[in-house]
Each structure stands twice: as structure tokens, then as C-alpha cells.
């Protein structure tokens, strides 16, 4: 750490200044690195952190076209859970929850992981059967999940309307108590600080426009808004845009990009003790530590790179929330925004080597990759360092779209898409 950095950090700690730019003056890209990571979201920064910490690889640049954490990492509703249906997913997401539990200590940065429980509501017979199937599958995998009656749902989450005459009657719910939320941008900042302290360069405002290859087909480096950067290995973690970036290296990915939107209310005193989700009505809600109600929607019906999301969808979401929680009808909404999520045909992610030697990709998290941040980053770093899959991410290679060994998590994604 330079003397300037140390003094700036000290001054910021004393004054409570949390401004990232003031703490870490902008890194200037060098012309060559061992590893270039495209995308400074939680996944890219976490990957750099684990590469440096666990594999001793520190000659790394994490490059972002915008500011770090400004993509989906800083736009999501921060729901963390591991109640997925299939064995492969349960292993991956539960590995992530294990890491979430120790992450603040690991990074010495408070990511505010809050184990407040995620309650997934059932409004019809299909929902009940599907939730109970998940509960059984989860228990067989050692993932906690249990069924609550409507009265038990109400006891766990008092603002819930369980009237049988409600438009969306609550027939029960699946509760994962170990699940919860975390502070999204703290995750990006924590990993960024941990990586930067180990020598990683984080380069913002630097779009990667092309991945270049050597005459033998292996990766040569990246063309960027600030010139060419040579690299032995390139890892792409550019949610929403990974297919475009990978296409420039001649690798086609089965991804579609959709806007996904969310909003927050004015802050109020603690009123909602847990996270509540309803896939059937396309809505999920929690209360942040600042007191805002955090509400999210399903994906837009049309592919787009707009970071806003359509009005009819958010209207539908808010209407559903008001029906399920009549107590919230008088709340005022503060702001809404969108992110771009990339979705695979089986709704499971891709963490993979590629046919191009030295090129790796971590993408396709769709609506659900925040919860996976530590687990995906940890196993992706292994894949890059050893040029082989980690046992946990091995089923998630892009090869599965050729072999047909899909991991069809459409129902478990918990968010309509
Ligand atoms: P990002 O944080 O998006 O990082 C990718 C980075 O790549 C961006 O910073 C971008 O600027 C950069 N980039 C893109 N193209 C280029 C380029 N050409 N050159 C350089 N940089 C580039 N998941 C959950 O688990 N729980 C939730 O509750 C949840 N809610 C969500 C709510 C919303 C509204 C949204 C939008 C998403 C939600 N998600 C949720 C999904 C989750 O946010 C993402 O899956 C996850 O954050 C992806 O992290 P990332 O680091 O891969 O991507
Ligand atoms: O995957 O749990 C999830 C989720 C919640 C909101 C968006 N994604």
C-alpha cells in the first residue's frame, strides 16, 4: 500500500468517508497481466480476491466499463437462500451460504449478512405441491426448509394477510430459516478492498470491446477503451453482456438478456421481520437495515439492454404486494431501477472453461446470482487457477448444452421469468 493510500484510508476512517474513489485512487492499466477479469461486480471482484488469497495469483486486472459494483451487484434485492431443487444447485448455493456466514470476518468488512429467513408463499394447489417437493428435495441434500401453515406464516411474518377471501390467498409457505439478505454494495467493496490490498488492479470506466486471440487460437488479451491489454488468461464475469463479450472471441453462449426491476419505499421503523417471496404473483419483499421496503418484480417479457424495466410489470408487482400486505398500501415509493440479467435455457448458470485456451466464463445467473457471489467466485477462481472445474461447479459447464445434461431450475428460481 502506498503512503498516500494509507493516509487517505486513515483520514477516511476518522471522518467516516466511505467514498471508494477517495480511498483507492484509480488504478492505471498496465499493458500486460497474468489474468484479466472482465466485470467488476461481486463475481469478478470475488474471483480476483480468491485467486489472490487462495491461489497466490496477484498479477490481475479487474476491468469494468462503469464503476465497481454498478451492475446487478448494486441493483439487486439481496435475497440469499439455497433452497434449490436439484442436487447440483443445492451444493453450489449451499456452499455459497456457508461462505456468506463467515464473509464479514473473512473480508474484515461488514457485508451485513442477515439470517432473517426467506418465506416462499403458496397461493394455489400447484404452489403447495411444488413447495413441498422442494422441501423434501432440500432436506435430502441437508438444506434446511420447512412447511408453514397459513397461521404459522402469519406468526412468522405478522404483516401478512392470510384471509381466505384475499385475492391471493396464502395456503402456506416454505421457510428456509438460514436464508436472508446482505448489503449488496458492501460485498463489492469488501471483495474489492481485499483484492486491491493483495495487489490486484481494479480499473473502472474502461469498456472491453473485444477479446483477441493468438494465431494458435489461445487467448491473447483484451482490446479496451484504453488500449490493448495482453493477458495469459481472460475471465468474463459481465452479467447481462457476457454473450456479447464472448462473441468477440468466437464463442457463442446460449444467453438472453432481460431487464429485471426493483424499487424501494420511504424508510420506516422495523415492520417486516423476514423476506417474503411469491413466484405466482411475481413479487418479493424485505426491509433493508435503513428501513426501506425493498420490492422486486419478475423479468420483462422482452429482451432488452435497458436498465429500467417496463411500467406494467412493476405496477403488477406493487398491486400484488398491496394485496398480500394491505398494511403497505399507504407507503410511498422512493425510487425504482432495473438491471440486465442474462438467462440460460435451463435457468442455471455457466461457470466454465471454454473451447478457447485461457478463456473462462461465469455468467447466466439470471435473476438469482447475488446469493451465489461468494460460492461462484470461489469455485471460478479454482477453475481459472487450475484450468479445470471445481467439483462444485463441474456440472455447470457450457458443455451441458451440447450433452443435454441440463439443470432445469426454472421452478426453483423463485422469480418469474
Ligand atoms: P454485475 O454486478 O452486473 O457485474 C458485471 C459487470 O460487468 C458490471 O459492472 C458491468 O458494468 C461490467 N461489464 C459488462 N460489460 C462489460 C464490458 N464490455 N467491459 C467491461 N465491463 C463490462 N440475485 C439474488 O441472488 N437475489 C436477489 O434478490 C436478486 N435480486 C435481483 C434484483 C434485480 C432488480 C436484479 C437486476 C438482479 C437481481 N439478482 C438477484 C441477480 C443478481 O443481481 C446478479 O445475478 C448478480 O449480481 C450478478 O453479479 P455479477 O458480479 O456477475 O454481475
Ligand atoms: O433468486 O432469490 C432469488 C431472487 C430474489 C429476487 C430476485 N432473485
Please name which ligand lies nearest the alpha carbon of 261. 1
Kind plus residue range of the DSSP H or E element containing 37: strand 32-38
- Which atom of ligand 1 is nearest the CA belonging to 371? 25
Write down the pLDDT at residue 21: 52
**Measured distance CA(373)–CA(34) in Å, rounded:** 23
Confidence category of residue 310, pLDDT binned at 50, 70, 90 = confident
CB 376 within 8 A of CB 43: yes
Write down the number of H helices and E strands in the chain: 11, 18
Residue that the C-alpha cell 451492475 belongs to: 71
Kind plus residue range of the DSSP H or E element containing 44: helix 42-55
Task: Please state the length of the chain.
Answer: 417
* d(CA 106, ligand 2 centre) in Å: 24
What is the SS3 assignment for 158-170? Answer: CCCCCCCCCCCCC
Write down the pLDDT at residue 66: 97
Write down the pLDDT at residue 307: 86
Which range in 20-24, 25-29, 147-151 is most confidently predicted, on average pLDDT? 147-151
**Measured distance CA(132)–CA(285) in Å, rounded:** 22
**Domains detected in the chain:** 6-76+184-254+345-403 (3.50.50.60), 118-177+256-343 (3.30.9.10)
**Quick one: average pLDDT of 154-182?**
97
**Quick one: average pLDDT of 50-60?**
98
Residue nearest to atom 14 of ligand 1 (CA): 238
**Measured distance CA(138)–CA(145) in Å, rounded:** 7
DSSP classification of residue 19: -
- Could you read off the pLDDT of 268-294 as tens digits, one per residue? 999 999 999 998 888 999 999 999 999
* d(CA 264, ligand 1 centre) in Å: 18
Is the Cα dihedral 136, 139, 145, 150 positive or negative?
A: positive
* d(CA 316, ligand 1 centre) in Å: 24
- Residue 172, classified by CB atoms within 10 Å of its CB into exposed (0-12), middle (13-18) or buried (19+), is buried
* Contact 83 CB / ligand 2 (< 6 Å): no
Please name which ligand lies nearest the alpha carbon of 206. 1
* Contact 377 CB / ligand 2 (< 6 Å): no
* d(CA 283, ligand 2 centre) in Å: 10
Of 232-246, 305-319, 347-361, the one with minimum mean pLDDT is 305-319
Write down the pLDDT at residue 1: 39
Nearest to 273 by CA among 116, 112, 113, 114: 116
Q: Which three cell numbers stand for residue 106?
A: 473473512
* d(CA 103, ligand 1 centre) in Å: 19
**Measured distance CA(8)–CA(11) in Å, rounded:** 5
Burial 79-101 (b: 16+ CB within 10 A, else e): bbbbbbbbebbbbbbbbbbebbb
Ligand 1 pocket test: which of 20, 66, 76, 118 has the largest number of ligand atoms within 8 Å of its C-beta?
76
Q: What pTM, to 2 d.p., does this model score?
A: 0.94
* d(CA 133, ligand 1 centre) in Å: 30
- Which atom of ligand 1 is nearest the CA belonging to 207? 19
Residue nearest to atom 5 of ligand 2 (CA): 79
Q: How far is CA 290 from the centre of its chain?
A: 21
Residue 3 has pLDDT above 50, yes or no: no
The residues with which 216 forms a beta bridge, in sequence order, are none
Write down the pLDDT at residue 4: 39
Q: Which three cell numbers stand for residue 410?
A: 426454472
Largest pairwise CA distance in the chain? 68
* d(CA 398, ligand 2 centre) in Å: 23
Write down the pLDDT at residue 335: 94
CB 6 within 8 A of CB 22: no
Write down the pLDDT at residue 178: 96
- Could you read off the pLDDT of 254-266 as tens digits, one per residue? 999 999 999 999 9
**Quick one: average pLDDT of 65-69?**
97
Amino acid at each position: 500500500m502506498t503512503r498516500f493510500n494509507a493516509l487517505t484510508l486513515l483520514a477516511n476512517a476518522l471522518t467516516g468517508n466511505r467514498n471508494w474513489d477517495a480511498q483507492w485512487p484509480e488504478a492505471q492499466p498496465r499493458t500486460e497481466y497474468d489474468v484479466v477479469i472482465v466485470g467488476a461486480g461481486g463475481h469478478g471482484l470475488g474471483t480476483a480476491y480468491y485467486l489472490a488469497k487462495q491461489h497466490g495469483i496477484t498479477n490481475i486486472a479487474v476491468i469494468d466499463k462503469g464503476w465497481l459494483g454498478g451492475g446487478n451487484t448494486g441493483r439487486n434485492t439481496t435475497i440469499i437462500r439455497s433452497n434449490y431443487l436439484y442436487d447440483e444447485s443445492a451444493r453450489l448455493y449451499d456452499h455459497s451460504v456457508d461462505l456468506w456466514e463467515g464473509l464479514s470476518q473473512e473480508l474484515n468488512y461488514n457485508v451485513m449478512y442477515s439470517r432473517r429467513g426467506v418465506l416462499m408463499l403458496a397461493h394455489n394447489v400447484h404452489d403447495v405441491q411444488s413447495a413441498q417437493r422442494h422441501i423434501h428435495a432440500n432436506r435430502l441434500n441437508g438444506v434446511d426448509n420447512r412447511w408453514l401453515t397459513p397461521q404459522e406464516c402469519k406468526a412468522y411474518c405478522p404483516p401478512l394477510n392470510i384471509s381466505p377471501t384475499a385475492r391471493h390467498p396464502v395456503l402456506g409457505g416454505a421457510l428456509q430459516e438460514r436464508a436472508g439478505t446482505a448489503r449488496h454494495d458492501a460485498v463489492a467493496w469488501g471483495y474489492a478492498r481485499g483484492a486491491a490490498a493483495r495487489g490486484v488492479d481494479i480499473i473502472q470506466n474502461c469498456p472491453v470491446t473485444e477479446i483477441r486471440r493468438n494465431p494458435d487460437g489461445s487467448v491473447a488479451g483484451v482490446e479496451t477503451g484504453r488500449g490493448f491489454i495482453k493477458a495469459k488468461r481472460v475471465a468474463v464475469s459481465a452479467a447481462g453482456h457476457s454473450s456479447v463479450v464472448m462473441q468477440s472471441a468466437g464463442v457463442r453462449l446460449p444467453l438472453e438478456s432481460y431487464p429485471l426491476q426493483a424499487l424501494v419505499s420511504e424508510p420506516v421503523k422495523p415492520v417486516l421481520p423476514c423476506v417474503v417471496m411469491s413466484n405466482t404473483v411475481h413479487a418479493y419483499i424485505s426491509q433493508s437495515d435503513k428501513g426501506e421496503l425493498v420490492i422486486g418484480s419478475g423479468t420483462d417479457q422482452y429482451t432488452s439492454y435497458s436498465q429500467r424495466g417496463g411500467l406494467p410489470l412493476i405496477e403488477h408487482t406493487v398491486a400484488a404486494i398491496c394485496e398480500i400486505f394491505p398494511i403497505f398500501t399507504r407507503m410511498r415509493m422512493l425510487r425504482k431501477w432495473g438491471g440486465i440479467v442474462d438467462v440460460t435455457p435451463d435457468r442455471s448458470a455457466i461457470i466454465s472453461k471454454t473451447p478457447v485456451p485461457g478463456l473462462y466464463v461465469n455468467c447466466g445467473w439470471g435473476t438469482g446470482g447475488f446469493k451465489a457471489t461468494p460460492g461462484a467466485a470461489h469455485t471460478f477462481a479454482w477453475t481459472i487457477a487450475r484450468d479445470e472445474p471445481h467439483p462444485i461447479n463441474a456440472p455447470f459447464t457450457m458443455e451441458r448444452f451440447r450433452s443435454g445434461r441440463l439443470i432445469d431450475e426454472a421452478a426453483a428460481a423463485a422469480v418469474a421469468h
